Amino acid sequence: MRCQLLAVALVLALGCASCDRNDEAATEPTDREACLASDIAPIEALTACSRLISAKDERLLKHSSAYYNRGIAFEELQEFGHARLDFEKALELKPDERWARQRLDGLKDKMEEPNQ
């Protein structure tokens, strides 16, 4: 568990370190593809989605899938509080997103379980 927390902290730090990159660097197709992929490790998805979300391009900031997929990565790492925030942001951007709603509802159940 301690290693997971360290990994999450490292990923968040690396994602924030890229915040000052120019828009072209932040919108590289590889970040977008990695963020939206379903077959990569949670840490890789977390990193790619964080870079995509931190982009200054408004079109990308309004893309709810980046928040949804980062929420899944956080959930897989048992970072339920961060996952909840990302699912809520995805729903804010796209209120009819049923997958985000289902994940958020399931996450609330996990957060209410003892030892979580």
Please give the single-letter amino acid code of residue 108.
K
As a whole number, mean pLDDT of residues 17-23 equals 42
How many domains, in total, are found in the chain? 1
How many CB atoms are closer than 10 A to CB 55?
24
Give the domain CATH number at 49.
Answer: 1.25.40.10
Rg over CA atoms, the chain: 14
The pLDDT of residue 19? 42
Beta carbons of 34 and 48 less than 8 angstroms apart: yes
Taking the C-alpha atoms of residue 67 and residue 100, their distance in angstroms, rounded to an integer, is 9
The pLDDT of residue 56? 64
- Residue 32's domain spans which residues? 2-112
CA distances from 62 to 32, 73, 93, 109 (A): 13, 19, 6, 28
Tell me the per-residue pLDDT of 28-76, one tens digit each, with 9 for 90 and over.
567 778 887 777 888 888 888 888 888 766 665 567 888 999 999 999 9
